[in-house]
Every structure is written in C-alpha cells, then in structure tokens.
Amino acid sequence: MDEPILASSREIIPVGLLYSSRGPYAAIGRAAIDGALMALAEVNEDDGFPFTLKAAIRDPEGVSERYPTQAEDLARLGCRHLIGTITSSSRKDVIPVVERAGALLWYAFPYEGYETSDHVVYLGACPNQHIVPLLDHALPRFGDRPFLVGSNYIWGWEINRIAREIVAAHGAEPVGERYLAVGSTDVDHLIAAVREKRPDFVLSNLIGPSSYAFVKAYAALGAEDPAFAPSVRPILSCNLTEADTDEIGAPGAGLLSTAIYFDSLDLTENEAFQARARARFGEGRRFSSCFVSVYAAIRMLAEAIRDAGTDDPAAIKAVATGRAFSTPFGRLAIDAKTSHAAHRPHLGRVRADGSIEIIESGAAVIPADPYLVRTRLPADPVHPADPAPVRREANAAAARLRVIT
C-alpha cells in the first residue's frame, strides 16, 4: 500500500519502506514501520521542510524471494531512497537492486559486518559495536565456555564465527553450537544440548519466534534447575530488543542484550523524542532500537534532502557523511569511507515486566570497524605485528565462499 500524506503544495518526494510486518520476524517489522511512519508524519507536518515525503510501503512477509522484486517495484515507482530490510539475507538480496537503480538503501539494524556498498547507509551497529563489547563484558564475569545458538542464515553463522574467534583469543572454545531454521520453534534439542554441556553462558543469535521459544524454554530449565538461572548461566544477545521482550514476557528476565538504544536511555534527546512518541502511541508503549533507528533514518534522510536541495542519492550521501545528526540515541555521524555509523553501545538486562535496564554503557562513541581490521578482540595480544585482523578477514572471506557455493 502507499501511505497518504497531508494535502500540501510542497514538492512530493517518494520513499520506499521495505519491512515485513508479517512472517517469522513480524514484531520487529511492525516496530520498524511504526518508527518510519512517525518520522514521516513529523516531516510532513513541519513547514520547515520544503517538501513532503510520500511512503510506498511493501511487505515481503519474510519471504526471501519477495525482497528484490518488491525493491525493484519501489525503484520503478521513482523511490530513490529505500528504508528497509531487517535480515542480512534480505539486505544482500536488495543491494544489487539499489546499485542498478542508482538508489540508496538506508539499513537501520545491527549486522555481522564484512560488507560495504556505496549504495547503502549502514545505521545499525556492526561487530566491533555489539559482539566485541558484549563478550568483553561477559568472558571475565561468567567464563569462557559459551554455547552458541543461532538462526540458520548469515547473521547467526557470522556472529557465531566472530564469537568463536573471540573465545579462541581468550584461550578457550565454545562447548557447543546449534542452529534453527528461521521461524522454527523446535527448541527442545537445543535445551537438551545446553543442559548436557553446562556452558558458562549461552550466546543466542536466534531471531523472532525461534528466539522467543528458546528464551521461554531456557527460563523453564532455570526454574527446574537453579544451575541454569540467569544469574548463574545467562543468555546473551546482540539483537534482542523491547520489541522482542513484549512478545516474550516474564521468562525473559535476566537476559543480557546489547544495543545502541534502549527505551530507558537517559539522554535529553531521548526524553524529547519519547514525549512526542508517547503522544502518538500512548503512555504504555515501549520503544526499541527497531523503532528508533528507522525513525532516525527517515529524519536524517529528510534533513539531508533539505540541506542538499535535492533527493539525488549521490548528493544525499555526501551530506549524510559530511555532518552529524541529532537522534534519540545521541549525535550520530556516518563515516565517508565505510558508510557506517559510529555508535556508543549499551548493555541491558531484561526485567520481568519486559523493560530493559541499562547496566553498562560504552565510555565513548566507537567508530565502525566493519571488517574488524582495527579492533582488538578481548584477550588479543597487543603488539603491532598481531596477525589476528588479517586472519579474521581471510576466515570471513572463506566463510562467504562456502555459503555461496
């Protein structure tokens, strides 16, 4: 469907929204669309913008084959900017479309790194901004024998691969590794394996209903056997947000997650944003990074169009990488070389009511290092001849070749 806009004599600029509000990660997609529509409404209600944004919305319902065809449809409608995709598989399917069309994809979710494109603005966190600080926190506190679980696609494979590298740099190795098909809730064998191996903690890279089912089953295990209580053997995640905890409920209590934004973030920018957001969605609504990052993407796009005087993707890219933007999670800047955002990561603990308490924040904003060539892994030796970054990049390339073939 196409989202109507307010009647106006201002120029109308079409933008494409490509999120799945149905399918295996529907809750995340619905949060993303809500964030997009709030930003669009604010821009269109503000006479300080000499244009209005008209959203063409497409819903692939989590079906991989639909992402490139629907992206092509949006490009044919004249959308030079696509805000969308959640999974890395869908992003990789859409990138060739935006490259052929000369368009720009605004990708607002955390991902596994090892990618750059001149036609993508990467607003989500990459590995040195999520998995590295997460394990830097966890390994000295819980131990170095994790069990790795993930959804069976690029995100799960690559984040677990990086986790293995980090654990190896710590002089240890994971005690197990298992995967589920995207959308599968058959988690009994995962729980049985975790119970048998008794890891120090579980790193979960599951998404959607797979994640919800696993967290609930793990909570039941902890209730039955205190050795698996979250205070003893917690679940850690790089991608679980308030959009997920609303679906999980009380069994999520004690889970540790990292993100660039949590609803409880104590910033003046977030306070002002939440006042506006709750006026639109109600006082009971919690806002996740899924909502806020997409909201920020559209606000940044609108400000860049206003600054550039055009929606030409090349001009917008130059503006977007040439200035900082105010967002609910603080000032945000995009690196001109990598097209990735610098972020300050936060570590949150899920409460029984589904809210997430921030228990630790990065000391500073971390520039993106998508290929992990400048990032010291926890327990990496510190010396200029350290070959670990080169080895990591070579391993990632080999992993991609195995996937492709």
**pLDDT tens, position by position, 128-142:** 999 999 999 999 999
- Is 400's pLDDT higher than 70? no
The alpha helices in 10-130, defined as continuous H runs, are 26-45, 66-76, 88-101
Query: Superfamily assignment of 11-124+265-344 in CATH?
Result: Response regulator (3.40.50.2300)
Q: By the 8 A CB rule, do 81 and 39 touch?
A: no
Q: Residue 311's Cα: distance from chain center in Å? A: 25
At 363, which helix (H) or strand (E)? Answer: none
For 197, counting Cβ atoms within 10 Å of its Cβ (0-12 exposed, 13-18 middle, 19+ buried), the class is: middle
Region 256-270: mean pLDDT is 97
Q: Contact at 8 Å (CB) between 107 and 320?
A: no
One DSSP character per residue, 1-18 reads -B------SSEEEEEEEE
Residue with tokens 């669009």: 40
Residue 394, pLDDT score: 35
The pLDDT of residue 375 is 87
Q: How far apart, in whole angstroms, are the C-alpha atoms of residue 214 and residue 339?
A: 34
Average pLDDT estimate for 38-54? 97
Q: What is the mean pLDDT of residues 242-258?
A: 97
| Structure confidence by residue, pLDDT tens digits, 279-295 | 999 998 999 999 999 99
The 10s digit of each residue's pLDDT in 229-243 is 999 999 999 999 999
Q: Is 60 helix (H, G, I), strand (E, B) or coil?
A: coil
Q: For residue 277, is pLDDT > 50?
A: yes
Identify the pLDDT of residue 388. Answer: 41
d(CA 365, CA 404): 34
Contact partners, residue 86, CB within 8 Å, separation at least 6 = 19, 20, 25, 28, 29, 32, 109, 290
- Per-residue confidence (pLDDT) for residue 379, from 0 to 100: 65
The CA angle 246-191-131, to the nearest 5 degrees, is 60
What is 128-260+347-361's CATH number, 3.40.430.10, 3.40.50.2300, 3.40.640.10, 3.30.70.141? 3.40.50.2300
- Assess whether pLDDT exceeds 60 at residue 393: no
Q: Specify the residue for token string 């058959």.
A: 186
Chain mean pLDDT for the chain: 92
| CA-to-CA dists, residue 54 to 1, 35, 227, 243, 392, angstroms | 11, 15, 53, 26, 43
User: Per-residue pLDDT averaged across 30-46, rounded?
Assistant: 98
Given a cut of 70, whether residue 404 has pLDDT beyond it is no
Q: Between 188-197 and 208-224, two packed helices, what is the crossing angle to 10 degrees? A: 50
User: Does the structure show a pLDDT above 50 at 50?
Assistant: yes
Name the one residue in this structure whose structure tokens are 């809730």.
185
pLDDT for the residue 378: 73
Q: How confident is the model at residue 338 (pLDDT cuts 50, 70, 90)?
A: very high
Is residue 148 a contact partner of residue 173, using CB atoms and an 8 Å limit? no
- 165-210: pLDDT as tens digits: 999 999 999 999 999 999 999 999 999 999 999 999 999 999 999 9
Q: What crossing angle do the helices spanning 268-281 and 289-308 adopt, rounded to 10°?
A: 100
Percent of the chain with pLDDT over 90: 89
Q: Is 398 buried (19+), middle (13-18) or exposed (0-12) by CB count in 10 A? A: exposed
| pLDDT at res. 376 | 79
pLDDT of residue 13: 98
CATH 3.40.50.2300 segments of the chain: 11-124+265-344, 128-260+347-361
pLDDT in tens, 341-374: 999 999 999 999 999 999 999 999 999 999 999 9
Supply the pLDDT for residue 2: 53
- Does residue 402 register a pLDDT over 60? no
Q: How far is CA 203 from CA 61, 326, 358, in A?
A: 27, 32, 19
Strands annotated E in 197-263: 201-205, 235-237, 256-259
